[in-house]
Amino acid sequence: MGTDEEAARPEPERPEPERPGPERADGPEQQDRPAGPAGLDARDRAVLALEARSWRTAGAKERAVREELGLSSTRYYQLLNGLLDRPEALAHAPVLVNRLRRVRDARRAAR
């Protein structure tokens, strides 16, 4: 086999890896979601990623929660608060989780 034959042979196609998108709502089908490498499912990782972003205007975060995650603001904060107590979330985003824990503890102490 010569180098001309090797150059003329097309390279095999590689499938594009799937990009994880935010999961929708919390229907019964969401209970069977596979866990990610840190033990968090896709929705949990999406909640942490959304919380890590900064927001320019009032209401932008709530709108993103509805559009990207398909959750109400109340449900979003319930999920986020539950995530702050999970060691998997701490392993996945330690700086974010520790900051949010400090804010939560300060608000509790102020009451």
d(CA 1, CA 83): 58
pLDDT given for residue 37 in this prediction: 55
Q: Which segments of the chain have a pLDDT < 50?
A: 17-32
pLDDT given for residue 44 in this prediction: 96
d(CA 61, CA 55): 6
pLDDT given for residue 58 in this prediction: 83
pLDDT given for residue 39 in this prediction: 85
Residue 62's Cα: distance from chain center in Å?
16
pLDDT given for residue 27 in this prediction: 45
d(CA 78, CA 100): 13
pTM of the complete model: 0.65
pLDDT given for residue 4 in this prediction: 56
pLDDT given for residue 74 in this prediction: 96
pLDDT given for residue 97 in this prediction: 97
- 96: exposed, middle or buried (Cβ count in 10 Å: 0-12, 13-18, 19+): middle
Nearest Cα to Cα of residue 97 among 108, 81, 78:
81
pLDDT given for residue 1 in this prediction: 55
d(CA 53, CA 62): 12
Q: Is 46 helix (H, G, I), strand (E, B) or coil?
A: helix
